[in-house]
Amino acid sequence: MPHVSPVLSRRSCLGIGGASFALIPLASLLADKGGGHQAPSDSHVKRVRRVILLFMNGGPSHIDTFDPKPQLAKYDGQSYAGEKKVASGTRIAGELWKSEFRFNRHGESGLEISELFPALSQHADDLCVIRSMHTTDALHAPAILRMNTGRSRQGGASLGAWVDYGLGTLNENLPQFVVMLDHRGAPINGHANWGTAPLPVNAATVFESPGDGLPYREGMRNLQAIGEQRMRQLLKDLNELGQLREPASSHLTERMRAYELAWRMQSAMPDTVSFEEETQDTQQRYGLDRPATTEFGTRCLLARRLLERGVRFVQIYSGGGQQQHTWDAHTKNNERHRRFAGETDQPIAALLADLKQRGLWNETLVIWGGEFGRTPTREMNSKGRDHNPYGFTIWLAGGAVRGGHVVGATDEIGLEAVEAPCSVDDLHATILRLLGLDHETLKFYGDGGTTGLTGPEPCQVIQEVLA
């Protein structure tokens, strides 16, 4: 069941004190009216209003998906002789191992994509593939946090929270930041991956499982209108009484606003999560008629329905909490990638097509990727690949990105980003720019100092991504 946690709202900030008001960025003050912080030096850049982040939990192998390395066939079975550490933790690196998946060129761009994604390959000309990503973290917990929050420690605000803070609401009856978990569980770090502190925005609404268990389908316990009104009034009276006793505390104000959103969601959500108006053909295209694709397809279809009704940011996880239920292929690399690609390929392709058909394409950014890649070596005595933070792949799609294009490259064996290397901060800066936000000025000023999604290390927008 999803939850909406009490978090300081944008408006409640204005009542805390004059000093706080002076430090709130203009983007936040304009957000509720659809305004936002615009990057003045890039007025020509196409801008999006919504984001779907498809997070492949566990770290998919770029070598087996979107970064073909034919030279690995030449070195297959040989020992790695380079200087990079190619084994994480206490694991032992084995010999170099070629991909066993065939890559083909697709679309007018000739973009090379693995046979694992036959449906997505039909959208090759829509994808901007960054093959030169790298990160500082080789372990799942800090790497997932960095990809989500820009920091490797817990406590940072996530990308979805920064988007909400910078742009504000498109629909006051729906949350602006929604997280959809894999039915097999939450990723490492749990809610820290979609945290909002210290930003004055509501917490993410979390959908723990799709299908018949979708929340809000029947409203709040099927309460009669008069019963609901009485409950809301009683709750409001109690909270206001508490405010009189503790006027200096902002916590009750935060809670009241969170409750108000939760109540408003009761009327808006039942229609949103219902697929009754979706044709059988649409549901089949998302894979809802196949056991392997039903779960992820449901999340993708629901994401489209949320976005077209005014939700800003939707994050969908593929891969659950335990290692054997993620893309983390220390063993059975090929089998695991066939399984997870098979679960996600058709739904993602349907989502891209649906965004175009329903007029959402130009204003939506779709992002695919995990926390890092996999090594070009096999782990000793196994048919798996270890973690690889030195080089991996992320792709973006939507009307604001340069489709059918490849940014950067890893070396000939796929271990390290060597051409136009892109950091996680660079990626975040680029995402913000596509939303009309400037990573250098989108900051929050609080008692603990100044914080932003990127930094303190220098970073830059990946210009090649921009359409």
Residue 28's pLDDT band, with cuts at 50, 70 and 90, is very low
Write the Ramachandran bin of 249: left for phi over 0, alpha for psi from -120 to 50, otherwise beta.
beta
Say whether pLDDT at 255 is over 70.
Answer: no
Say whether pLDDT at 27 is over 70.
Answer: no
Is 384 within 8 Å of 378 (Cβ atoms)?
Answer: yes
Q: Is 291 exposed, middle or buried (0-12, 13-18, 19+ CB in 10 A)?
A: exposed
Residue with tokens 């970064």: 67
Q: What local confidence, expressed as pLDDT, does residue 459 receive?
A: 98
Mean pLDDT for the stretch of residues 58-73: 98
The pLDDT mean for the chain works out to 86
Ranges of H-type helices in 121-218 = 140-149, 159-167
Say whether pLDDT at 17 is over 90.
Answer: no
Label residues 337-357 b or e (16+ Cβ within 10 Å = b): beebbbbbbbbbbbbbbbbbe
Q: Say whether the peptide bond before residue 456 is cis (omega within 30 degrees of 0).
A: yes
Determine which of 92-96, 188-192, 425-429 has the lowest per-residue pLDDT on average: 92-96
Say whether pLDDT at 247 is over 80.
Answer: no
Q: How many residues does the chain have?
A: 467
- The pTM assigned to this predicted structure is 0.86
SS3 at position 419: strand
Mean pLDDT for the stretch of residues 278-301: 97
Each domain of the chain, given as residue ranges in start order, spans 10-465
Render pLDDT for 303-352 as a digit per residue (tens, 0 to 9). 999 999 999 999 999 999 899 999 999 999 999 999 999 999 999 999 99
Residue 446's pLDDT band, with cuts at 50, 70 and 90, is confident
Name the DSSP letter for residue 170: S
Q: What local confidence, expressed as pLDDT, does residue 231 receive?
A: 60
Determine which of 74-83, 129-138, 266-275 has the lowest per-residue pLDDT on average: 266-275
Residue 260's pLDDT band, with cuts at 50, 70 and 90, is confident
Cα gap 149→270, rounded to integer Å:
31
Residue scoring higher pLDDT (247 or 393): 393
Q: What local confidence, expressed as pLDDT, does residue 217 receive?
A: 53
Q: Which of 1.10.150, 3.40.720, 3.30.70, 3.40.640 is the CATH number of 10-465? A: 3.40.720
Q: What local confidence, expressed as pLDDT, does residue 7 receive?
A: 32
Sign (positive/negative) of CA torsion 245, 248, 253, 255? negative
Say whether pLDDT at 209 is over 90.
Answer: no
Render pLDDT for 394-445 as a digit per residue (tens, 0 to 9). 999 999 999 999 999 999 999 999 999 999 999 999 999 999 999 999 999 9
What percentage of the chain has pLDDT greater than the value 70?
Answer: 79
Rg (CA), the chain: 22
Cα gap 80→377, rounded to integer Å:
8
Q: What local confidence, expressed as pLDDT, does residue 45 receive?
A: 75
Cα gap 393→284, rounded to integer Å:
29
For the stretch 226-230, contacts whose Cβ atoms lie closer than 8 Å and that sit 24 or more positions apart, written own/partner, are 228/263, 228/266
> Which of 192-206, 226-240, 295-309 has the highest mean predicted lDDT (pLDDT)?
295-309
Q: What local confidence, expressed as pLDDT, does residue 243 receive?
A: 62
Cα gap 226→111, rounded to integer Å:
58
Determine which of 22-31, 231-240, 302-311 has the lowest per-residue pLDDT on average: 22-31
Q: Distances from the Cα of 249 to the Cαs of 8, 39, 246, 252, 253, in angstroms?
A: 11, 36, 6, 7, 8
Residue 40's pLDDT band, with cuts at 50, 70 and 90, is very low
What percentage of the chain has pLDDT greater than the value 90?
Answer: 70
Q: Is 395 exposed, middle or buried (0-12, 13-18, 19+ CB in 10 A)?
A: buried
